[in-house]
Every structure is written in structure tokens, then in C-alpha cells.
Structure 1
Amino acid sequence: MTAGTAPRPAPAGPDLADRILGGWTGRIAGNMLGKPVEQGEHWTRERIDAYLRLTGALPLTDYLPPPPDGAQGFELRPEWPACVRGGIRESCRDDDVDYTLLGLHLLETHGFGFTTEQVGELWLLRLPYLQTYTAERAAYRNLANGLRPPLTATYDNPYQEWIGALIRADVYGWTSPGDPRRAAGLARRDAVVSHTGNGVYGAMWAAALVAAAFTAPDVRSALVAALEVVPPGCRLARTVRETIALYEAGLGWSRTLDEMAERTAGLGWIHVVPNAAVLTAGLLHGEGDFTRTIALTVRGGLDTDSNGATAGSVAGVLCGAAAIPPQWSAPLRDRVRSAVYGFDGAGIGELAARTLRLATLTP
């Protein structure tokens, strides 16, 4: 925590319910905002802003506009018609939400004492192989071939420090409000089925960040509290600290990202470390405002839908569902599309209520 500030008491009752619903709504909205431009090698920060200028959408205060006829060099992902302004009727299917649903099902099925092996079993039972990517696909293949964790994370898997485990972490924070260390422990048990090193630390940090957002006095305090659960010398922790330091030195959002891009060059647009810098900068410069937070985070590029989802989750917990502007929540129509067996078409409010029940269980 920052000097002179103290954590808020853990929320309870209607406040906790609103904050958890805010996390779910924020995660889905942030994911939907970033989904049309999720291709970091093409959709750079500069290209995203060029598209927003072309479509008259700067400053960004709503979902992305559809592309104008004849626009060259601004091709969105194939799913774009259902993810842009005027086309959204529910959330699009996406792995950033699929794994959140799987995490909820894991906790409901096995409780907080779940094992890493049970994580893998639920993947095989509930998630289609072709809806997995990078480290998760490698781990899924290894699971199907009879390997067990931690070998599932290391055998023939070049993606061990990519962002996949981080995107699975939010539900552990929502169910551990105000307890970052507990959230990180749960996320670690999940992460090691597919990741090692900074890939695991990213998941622990994200889960702790979401948990800390329930009680931290501001977003910077939540970021600092989340750093306490990962090794201080790991590259992920150093990157987050460096991004915070640039913010505190008064560098603007764009210059901060320029500097952090140089320091993390060569890691690739799906690696967890550069994405942690984009996420941290978006949260800090968003300054607690939901719209500004997810807009800056997605405009930061790299893995836009994953970063938008996590930023939306943290910002949604900080402000609560009632304070999320309706242009983000209303188009979702309380409906989630998912590849996870048994979850397609679930209501966002229903999922939040199930999460609340877990969050109020006595550890």
C-alpha cells in the first residue's frame, strides 16, 4: 500500500455482489473491446489509433466502430461484425472468458482444495481441443497423451511464459476478495498445468491484483499489493515495478509504453511480460475510471482482448457493476457465448451470483 493509505474493509452483502458482478461485466466488456484488433503483429498501438482517427472514435468511449467501406490495411478479426458498435447482441465466444467459466466450474466441482490434475481433467471433459491455443493446446495434447503435471507444461511447449495462465486467473481473485495471497495460491495451482516461470507468476500476480482491488484504496495500491505474491527478482515483477516508476516520474501513457516496449523487445506480442507492462500502464493512467482504463489498455496493443479483459475485471471490481457506463454493459444483454460444455448462453448475473456464493464460503 502507498504511504498514508490503508486498505478498505472487505466488502460484504450487496456491495460484494455488485463488485463481483462488476468484475464479470468488466472482463467481458474489455474482452469484447479488444477482440476485433487481437493480432499484435499487425494491430500495433499506432495502427489502432490510426483506425480510431479514421472512424472518428478518438477518444475511445465505446466499443470499436465498424470499418468504413474500402478501408485498406485495417482488416479486423473475422468475428468483428458481432464485436463492434451496433452489432453486439451478446458476448462473443472467446478463450479469455472460456477459462473464467472453467475456473468457476472447477471451484464449484472440487472446492478450493482442487488439484492441478483436476484442472487438466476438466479441460478434457469440458473444452474442445480446437478452442485452445499456444501453451494450453500443448498442455491439452500432453494431457490427452497421458502425461501428468508438471510435465504437461514443459514437454514440447515453447509457450510456457506466454499470457495463457494469466487470462485464467480472475475467478480466483473474485472468490478471494481482499486476500491476494490466497488468490495467488489458487492461480498457481491452475497455472502449472501449462506454464512455468513468468507464465505462472503472471497468473499469480493477476489473481492477487483482482483480489486486492476489493480492498485497496486505489489502483496503484492494488498493483503494489499484487507484487508481494511473486518473486521480486522475476522479470514480470521488475517490469511491473518499472512501469509504475515511469508513471510516478510523470511520463505520459504513450511515452511509458514506448519505453517499456524497448525494455521488453524481442519477447513477442503474446508473452506475459510485455503484456503486463501494457496492462499496468492502462490501469495506472486510467486512474480508476472504467472507460478510460479499458480504452487505454486496448489502445496499448499486443494481446488486446486479454489485456482488455483483465483491465476490465480490475476496474469493474474497483467501481462495481452499478458504476459501469451502460454503453459497455447493455449490449451484452446478460448473455455469454462459450465453447465450454454446459455454459453456452449463461447469464452474466447468474455467473456472478454463483461466484458470490463461493466468495462467501468460509475458507
Structure 2
Amino acid sequence: MGLLPHSELADRILGGWTGRIAGNMLGKPVERGDHWTPDRIDRYLRLTDALPLTDYLPPPPAAGADGFELRPEWPQCVRGRIRGSCRDDDVDYSILGLHLLETRGFDFTTEQVGEHWLLRLPYLQTFTAERTAYRNLANGLKPPLTATYDNPHQEWIGALIRADVYGWTSPGDPRRAASLARRDAVLSHTGNGVYGAMWAAALIAAAFAAPGPRDALETSLERIPASSRLARTVRHTIGLYEAGVEWPDALAALAEESNHLGWIHTVPNAAVLTAGLLYGEGDFTRTIALTVRGGLDTDSNGATAGSIAGVMCGARAIPSQWSEPLQDRVRSAVFGFDGVRISELAERTLRLATLTG
């Protein structure tokens, strides 16, 4: 792969993995978009004297925290208590995708994605569209019926969170990244659910070569239908940013347009993610902080924002308050990977990325 020197490519891929895991951990305690609105998140941060947000979320105060109940996993995800990463599907699918590419190669089929799930991923660690597709697979259905039969979640965010590895292993090649992500996504999603995966993979691949988030976003939009709701929403977000609309006002305008779709739908989450990238202006901490403060599916959005920002800046430039508590370790439900080192995952990803040039 001739886009970057080998050592820089290695640092960027490690940055993607580290950023994804850190962003996921940042958003996990407040992952419930119907309760943890941007206003409630900021009120919690004021209550705990954590604005501006420059580190993991603080633990809840001993008293006076009614209405600010964090997710049950919070003791392992807040500042001062993190000892390696928590298990989460946003990271499990990146690991699963890596192993799929290692064992099946880049010519994998959608059917092989399904086989990999059944072999490596526990059913009860899947959710929404993925759980429906898993059940359909176990009942003998084949793609694309696995995505459409009895599945009310076809455009939710699940396929998007599975897309990172296709971007990391296609550095500077958004077309290829989107194609790989589509082959994975159609197992469980349709429409904007599939476009979200293609867009995210292309965005990550573009981040290896783009001078900034704005350019990477423009490149990624070339890989999805311009008339899709997802593309229109991303362009609207870019338009608000370019018009000088302040971040809170942009969020409010975007919420009015798409939040009726629900807090796990691809489209409103893509708006929050796009706003975080643009208003974060290339700064790793600001990018993941604004993205998580934007609400909705906070751990998924934080993970993808961290992946993109981490690829752009590289692991060496990620501030230590994000990377050091992770202790280079990942908890995972993927069979054979619990306790794996982040650095090992990055090295294995690098090997795949250098095969594709």
C-alpha cells in the first residue's frame, strides 16, 4: 500500500482501533438516547464539573444525582475506574470482521459472514437487526431473506458499527471499503441501514488520505446514492456547519428533521456523527466529546468518531488520558478473543491492509 509509509500506516491503524475503543467507552455510560438527550448529558457534566469534556465521563456524585442514572456497566467505564475496555458489540463486530477477513479473505460472501456469526458470536450478545438475522440464520434462512424476514430494524445502526475494519484494511480506497461493507451489511439490513455501513467504511478509508474531516465526508458521500435520506442528511449537516451555525443549534435543527426515526436509526445518528467530526475540526478529544454529547446511540457514535479521528491523527497523537486506561486490552464476546491486546489487533489489521495495495 503506497499511500503512506509503513510506520505511519501502522500508527494510523492503531489509532483507529484505539480511537474506536476509547470513543465507545466514553459513550457507553449514557447509551440510551430516549433518556440521555444532549441537554441531560450536559447537565450531568455540569453536575460533575466535567465541562468541557476532556476525559472519560466522571462517576456519579454520591448524592443529588436523581434522573442521571448511568447504564449498569458504568463502574468499568468512568474515569479513574477503567482497567482495560468493557465488552461491547461495537468492538466485537470489528474483531469479528477482522477474523472474517483473515480466514475467508477479501472475497468473502454474505453467507460466510452469517456462518462466522454462528460460529464465533453468542446469540445473546446480538441486538436488534443482528439478533433477527442471527435467528433467521439459525432457522435456515439465507441472505437477503435474513435481513427482511420479520425484521423491523432494517435501517437501524447495526450494520454501520460493523464497517470499520473494511475501512482500516482499505486505506485510501473508499470504493473498495464500501463494497466490502455492503457485502457484510446486507445480511441484516436494507436501504439506509446498508448505506450507513458503506458510508462509514468509505469515510474511514478516506480518512487515511484526506487533509481533514470535511474532505473525508465529501469523498464518502460519493459511495452512497445521492438521493438517499442518509446522503441528504449528511449534506444538510455539512451545510449548517459551513453556514456558521453553532454546534448546539445545528444539533437542534438536525433533531427536528430526523429524530422522529428513533434513537437507534442510522440517519439521525449519522447527523450527530457528522456534526461531531466537523465541529471537532480534527482534534481527537473535541471530536469524540462533541459526538457523545450529541446524544442518541452514544457509544456507537463515539466509537465511529474515535475511529475516524484516530485514523486521521494516529495513535501517537491520541492524548494519554484516552489510551492509557485501556491498558492495551479488550474484553470481547467473540470466541477466542477475550483479553486480546489492542496492539495485536492493529498489527493483524495492518497485515491485511498491506496485502490489498
Which residue type is aligned with residue 22 of structure 2?
A: A
Residue 19, structure 1, aligned to residue 12, structure 2: yes
Aligned to 1:5: none
Aligned to 2:194: 200
Q: Distance in 2 between matches of 1:143 and 1:289?
A: 42
Q: Distance in 2 between matches of 1:239 and 1:171?
A: 24
**1:53 aligned residue (46, 49, 52):** 46
Aligned to 1:213: 207
1:86 alignment partner, SS class: coil
Where does 1:64-213 land on structure 2 (aligned, <5 Å)?
64-70=57-63, 71-213=65-207
Which residue type is aligned with residue 303 of structure 2?
A: A
Deviations 1:54-77 (Å, cap 9, x if unpaired)? 000000000000000131010000
Q: Distance in 1 between matches of 2:294 and 2:259?
A: 15
RMSD: 0.7
Aligned to 1:231: 225
Instruction: Structure 1: state its 5+ residue gaps.
Output: 1-8
Deviations 1:100-141 (Å, cap 9, x if unpaired)? 000000000000000000000010000000000000000000
Deviation at 1:10, TM superposition (A): 1.6
Deviation at 1:12, TM superposition (A): 2.7
Where does 1:278-297 land on structure 2 (aligned, <5 Å)?
278-297=272-291
Q: Check conservation: 2:169, 2:356, Cα contact below 8 A.
A: no
Q: Distance in 1 between matches of 2:246 and 2:168?
A: 31
2:200 alignment partner, SS class: helix
TM-score (norm 2): 0.99
Which residue type is aligned with residue 76 of structure 2?
A: A
Deviations 1:37-70 (Å, cap 9, x if unpaired)? 0000110000000000000000000000000013
Aligned to 2:28: 35
Which residue type is aligned with residue 185 of structure 2?
A: A
Q: Distance in 2 between matches of 1:330 and 1:105?
A: 25
Which residue type is aligned with residue 25 of structure 2?
A: M
Q: Distance in 2 between matches of 1:150 and 1:105?
A: 22
Residue 335, structure 1, aligned to residue 329, structure 2: yes
Aligned to 1:3: none
**How many corresponding residue pairs?**
355
Deviates more, 1:200-209 or 1:257-266: 257-266
**1:242 aligned residue (225, 236, 242):** 236
**2:346 aligned residue (336, 341, 352):** 352
Q: Distance in 1 between matches of 2:120 and 2:286?
A: 35
Which residue type is aligned with residue 36 of structure 1?
A: P
Q: Check conservation: 2:160, 2:193, Cα contact below 8 A.
A: yes
Deviation at 1:217, TM superposition (A): 1.1
Which residue type is aligned with residue 196 of structure 1?
A: T
Q: Distance in 1 between matches of 2:4 and 2:239?
A: 30
- Runs of 4+ in structure 1 displaced over 3 angstroms? none
Deviation at 1:329, TM superposition (A): 0.1
Which residue type is aligned with residue 279 of structure 1?
A: L
Q: Check conservation: 2:170, 2:356, Cα contact below 8 A.
A: no
Deviation at 1:310, TM superposition (A): 0.2
**1:298 aligned residue (285, 292, 298):** 292
1:113 alignment partner, SS class: coil
Which residue type is aligned with residue 242 of structure 2?
A: E
Which residue type is aligned with residue 354 of structure 1?
A: R
Deviation at 1:266, TM superposition (A): 1.3
Q: Distance in 2 between matches of 1:269 and 1:362?
A: 36
Deviations 1:334-358 (Å, cap 9, x if unpaired)? 0000000001000000000000000
Q: Distance in 2 between matches of 1:362 and 1:74?
A: 47
Q: Distance in 2 between matches of 1:136 and 1:58?
A: 35
Tell me: CA distance 1:57–1:242, structure 2 relative to 1, closer, same or farther (3 Å): same
Q: Distance in 1 between matches of 2:35 and 2:176?
A: 38
1:187 alignment partner, SS class: helix
Q: Distance in 1 between matches of 2:213 and 2:159?
A: 22
Deviations 1:73-94 (Å, cap 9, x if unpaired)? 1000000000001110000000
Q: Check conservation: 2:164, 2:201, Cα contact below 8 A.
A: yes
Q: Distance in 2 between matches of 1:10 and 1:138?
A: 39
